[in-house]
Structure formats: C-alpha cells, structure tokens
Amino acid sequence: MNKKQKKMLRRILLAAVMVIVLGILPVAGLPRLVLYLLTYLVIGYDILKKAGKGIWNRRVFDENFLMAAATVGAFALAIYTRSGDYTEAIAVMLFYQIGELFQSYAVGKSRRNISALMDIRPDYANIEREGTLEQVDPDEVAVGSVIVVQPGERIPLDGEVVEGCSTLNTSALTGESLPREIQVGETVISGCINMTGVLKIRTTKAFEESTVSKILDLVENASSRKSKSEDFISKFARVYTPAVCYAALALALAPPLVQLLMGAAPAWGTWLYRALTFLVISCPCALVISIPLSFFAGLGGAGKEGVLIKGSNYLETLAHTRYVVFDKTGTLTHGVFEVDAVHHNQMERERLLEYAALAESASSHPISKSLQRAYGREIDRSRVTDIEEIGGNGVTAKVDGIVVAAGNDKLMRRMGIEPIPCHHIGTIIHMAVDGAYAGHIVISDVVKEHAGQAVQELKHAGVKQTVMLTGDDKRVAESVAAALGVDQVYGELLPADKVAKVEELLAHKGGKEKLAFVGDGINDAPVLSRADIGIAMGAMGSDAAIEAADVVLMDDDPLKIVKAIRISRKCIGIVYQNIVFALLVKFTCLVLGAVGMANMWLAIFADVGVMILAILNAIRALFVHKL
C-alpha cells in the first residue's frame, strides 16, 4: 500500500471503531447527532469536498454527488423523523470508501505490473576512453560506437557483439524465463540484462530508435486508445447518472404529491428514504471502475508475457480474430538460410562446399553467408582471384588457380554445362569445377521451432483459416505451408500483391470477424496497416513493421500469437461478465428500492458489493501465464 492508501485505511478503521463505540454509549439528543456527524466527516469529508467541486465546476452528476446526496439526505431524514438512527448514512459512506480503497489497490497492482516493463529503461552506457570506463547518457552514444556492458548491467542500445560471450536475461522483454547464450557476431537488443561475461557491443541504432525506446513508447501510449466497451461505458455513465438523479427526485416528490392530491396523508419520509436508497443503488462505480481496470490488467498481463498491445481497442479487436495471415520469411521461418543437402557431388562434400564458399567469399548475400557457415573455417581470400558476378546467374572465380562456377541452371548452360535437376525444395546452387559439373547444393530457410504448433493451436483457438503470403518461389512456399499445416498459400507476391490478397480476404469475412496479419519485414508495413489487426515480430522485425503494427511480439515466437489471442479473449470475457452482472444487479435492486422492498443495506451491496466483486473479477485479467 502507498501512503494515500494507508491513510484511507486508518480513516476507515477509525470510523468503524467510532460507530461501534457510539452504538454502545448511552448518548441521545444533540450530543448523539454531533458525535455521529463527526464520525461521518472522518470517513466522508473528501467525498463531500469532491461533490462540492463538481457542483462548482458545473459537473454535478458523478458518483461523489450520488454518495453525498444519499448520505446527507439519510442524515436529514433521521433528523426529520427524530429516529436518531444515523448509522445507515455512515455505513453507506464507510462501505463506499472500503470499495474505493479496494479499487485503488487493484489499479495499483495492475499499474505496477505494467511499470515492471518501465524498469527496462537503461540509466547509462559505458564508453571506454583511455583505458577507463566512462558512464554517459544512452542518448549521447552515436551509431557505430563500441559500448561495454558488464555483468549485472542492462544493455542500453541495440547492437552487435564484437567481443566477449555471455548469458542474457531477456524476461523483461519477452516473458521468457530461460536465459539466452550470446557470442561474437550476434545481435542484441536493448533492455536485456547481461548476466555473466563482459560484452563489447557495436551500436546499430540511436537510443530513440532502439528496442527499449519503442517498447516504452508503446506502453506509455497504450491506455490512450480506448476500446468500444470503454467508450460505451463512458457514454452510458454520462447519460445514466443524471437520469437516475432525476428519477430519484421524482420518486421522492411524485408519490407524496399524488397522495396529497387524492386527499390522503403524504408519506414524505417513506418516499424520501426510497429515493435515497435508489440513489445509493444507482451509483455506476462497478462499471466505471471495473471495465477500464479489466483492459488495463489485460494489457499488463500481456506485456509481462512479451506481447505488447498498443491499446485496449486492439485488445478488443484481437479477441474477434478468425483469420490469421502470415508472412513467411522471418515470421514462420527464421529468415536464415542453411545448407540442407549436397547432391550428385563428384568430389567429397567438404571439398565441394570449400570451393563454393571461396567462390562466394566476396558476396554478403544470405546465400553466400550460408555457404561460408557450412564450410565452417576461416576464408583465405588470397586463394581466390578473378571473381566475376553475373547478375541473375551466379558467380565465377579462380580458386587455387582452378575455375569454379556457382549459380543457377542458367549459369551452367551459359558455360556449356548441363545441370542435373534437383527435386528437393529450396535454393539450388549448381557447381562446376574446372569446366565439369561437380554437383549441386540445396539451401533452405529454417522453419521456426514452434511454427507448426502455433498454426495448429490457432485452429484449436477458433481461428477459421490460416493463410501464408510470400514473395518466395511457389514451390518453396507450398512446401513450407504443407509442413506447417497452413490452409492457403500464395507465393511470388510483391508488397502490392500482398495488400490485394488481404483486401480480397477482408471482403469475404463475416461482419464481426477480424483478420490479423503477422509479418516482420519493411515490405510488410502496408499489409500490417491494412489488416484489422497487425502483429509484428519485435525482436528481429523492421522498425517500419513495428511502427505499423498494433501488436508486437517481443521474442518472435509464433506461439505468442496464440497467447495474444487467448489473453484478449479472457480479458473481453471478463469485461462482458462485469457489464452483465453489474447491470443485472443494479436494475433489479433499483426496482426493489423503488417499490420499497430494498433498504439502505441492500443498496450498499448493490453499490459497493457489486463493485468489489467486479474488481476481483477484473484482476483475473492479470493472470495469463498459463493460458
């Protein structure tokens, strides 16, 4: 509890003790009234103050006004009837404050959960100057600088490891409890904690463009984007509160006036009591508090699991997702090419890979890099001469004085060599050594570990159709889609073609059904924006994709798509439960109060009791780890 909450708890306990003592003491008349008024002010002075400010600022109709009017009216009624029973007025205010304290604690818990993400903000970066480490503001570190991160420190900027190896704690970003091993040449993102060795990192982004800055911006702005449910409750409360105030006034005046006109004795006290009970029952706290709290808790729970949702409106849309469209490379696959096989080789496999790696050594293309990784040894560029890259064909070079060609079938035929066709799916690198065909190398993109499981679990979660859109060769795309169980696949698409396909899918879905697109590349940004809900891979995704997306997955794991949908559905389910429960109890008790079948104690339950139950239900949105 914070200071304010502790102070409120002390006031509640003091007021409760005073009520108990006054119930025992044999005090009557004016002293009794004064002591009860003192107790009332102890527990309710802030509500009276807020109600007064609202009236002064011409914003009369809110829960503070309802509580003030009901409790002051109850006091006035007790004085008018000379019953001396002031307990109900104090009890209404006491239980209302207990509900407010409970709500404050619940919101604080949700806020602390989201604030845990804010702890990823780095305080400094270490720059080595003249043999000593100097701490500087991360904003001051230029792109390309080398920073030093010691064990226990947070990585302040995105970059590439140039020296050292270590273990990183990424739980604050991804929700993943297992540490990640990191070595020279690997990329790291800001916000992770270095656990073991000293790392030297060459920065690749300025601080304002780094992962940690983007996450903090998303978290800080999430609450500003309201869902339809929240907008409905806000509009409902603006109409509902004045309406019930006028209804209570009519309930207090109309029946006695009718009795008076009919010549009967007007029961002013009875109808005023019913009107005051009506006011207490009508307070919309349960809805006004629990609905935003449910969304707030849902956003916090998702953030803790490494799923950043940019606002409660997107959380609501995500819950209605029935179509999921995937990009392939970097989304369902790692986007990292590896040598899959060597076929029809006329020499040892290792020897053929050595020729291919040396011939391709001047290129930075992912295919070339995969050949060099498969070779597995340091490239001696002095062995390679006369490198010639032939656009759309491949490369020729002399390796140890021997002519080597590596490329597609067009290159082979250009050299007068007939290639042996390959029936495997992937990129085929045909090799010719010293003018003779030497075999071919199959290179494939690596499918992500959980991609197939994610597709299957999406179907179990009620997703009607999964679709894959890619710019890759149709055969490759169809092979990956078949392996993963994706329903439909479209290959060889340009960015504009992807948008057109998404438009086509959007036109065929149901009215309330939503379509999500999952991508990671800069060319996915237009599609992410066009889909009902855009989901970006955050760890390795491009800045443009993250900016255009509505949901960001911090560890690039496709299973987090399923997690995000389940979190959203749990949250929306809680919201609907609270709306139905609160309105049902409220309207039932309002009718009972109007006909005299509900007293002030039932009114307290209808207000505070329902609010506490709704808040308890809302807090469930925080617990999403096992979904």
Catalytic residue IDs: 327
* CA–CA dist 455, 483 (Å, integer): 11
Q: Are 139 and 207 in contact (CB under 8 A)?
A: yes
Other C-beta atoms closer than 10 Å to the C-beta of 462 total 10
For residue 87, what are the CA distances in angstroms to 23, 40, 138?
9, 9, 60
Local structure of residue 524 (DSSP, 8 states): G
Token pair of 242, please? 């004045």
Other C-beta atoms closer than 10 Å to the C-beta of 249 total 14
386: left (phi over 0), alpha (psi -120 to 50) or beta: left
Strand partners, 434: none
For residue 544, what are the CA distances in angstroms to 221, 360, 527?
18, 31, 11
- Helix, strand, coil percentages for the chain (3-state, nearest 5): 55, 20, 25
**Dihedral of the alpha carbons of 545, 549, 555, 557, in degrees to the nearest 10:** -100
* CA–CA dist 339, 427 (Å, integer): 9
CA 535, 541, 544, 546 torsion: positive or negative?
A: positive
Kind plus residue range of the DSSP H or E element containing 386:
strand 384-390
- Give me the amino acid identity at 280: V
* CA–CA dist 311, 299 (Å, integer): 8
Token pair of 458, please? 């999406």
